[in-house]
Amino acid sequence: MSQIIEIPQDLYIRLGNHAKVFETPAQVIERLLGHYENKNIVGNKPLKSLNKKGKKDITKYTFNHNTYGKGRLVHAIIKSYINDNNPSLEKLSELFPKHLQGSIGVFNKITFIQQKYAHKDLKRHYVKPDELLVLNDGTTIAICDQWGIGNIDLFINQAISLGYQINRNT
């Protein structure tokens, strides 16, 4: 049962300052309560496999009847979006902005990755030939593989807002 809560305008503005892209006021409140209660939230569900000292979060997700870890989930969703919509680099960047991942970004042009990580073994992206994705203008991109409990929920919320169904496996 939903309840209507009236709050003063200044409190609503403060709440808005904590909102992330495409979050409703209820989602912001839920996330803040989760933080206060020391829980990490994906959708409406707290994560059970939190990254505790010395333990890696190995939460798996189901998308299109397949099970993925965090990085492979992001790759599968972006690949699906490209296959279904044939977007330009600009449109893809608009829908999956850099801040969803953090400093590396959700994806980058392969030419940028080759230049930036030329002398490093760790490329921080899926760069094998069969992992690269080609956009409608011929631009080749690689999806970032650096995902954890601190940033995957932003990406998942964005993907859900675009109509994708993602389930966290328990």
Cα-based angle 39, 70, 84 (whole degrees, multiple of 5)? 125
Asked if 129 and 71 sit in the same domain, the reply is yes
81 and 113 co-located in one domain: yes
Ranges of the chain whose pLDDT falls below 50: 39-42, 46-53
Q: Is residue 65 part of a domain?
A: yes
What is the per-residue pLDDT for 49? 41
107 and 142 Cβ atoms separated by less than 8 Å: yes
- Asked whether residue 20 falls in the same domain as residue 77, the answer is no
Total tally of structural domains belonging to the chain: 2
pTM exceeds 0.85 for this model:
no
Q: Which domain holds residue 151?
A: 61-168
Q: Are residues 141 and 96 in the same domain?
A: yes
Whether residue 95 is found in the same domain as residue 150: yes
Asked if residue 141 and residue 100 are part of one domain, the reply reads yes
Residue 161 to residue 27: CA distance in whole angstroms:
13
**Residue 112 and residue 133: Cα distance in Å, rounded?**
14
Question: How far apart (Å, rounded) are the C-alpha atoms in residues 60 and 23?
Answer: 23
Under 8 Å between Cβ of 67 and 60: yes
> Does 52 map to a domain?
no
Asked if residue 31 and residue 102 are part of one domain, the reply reads: no
Q: Which pLDDT value is given to residue 120?
A: 84
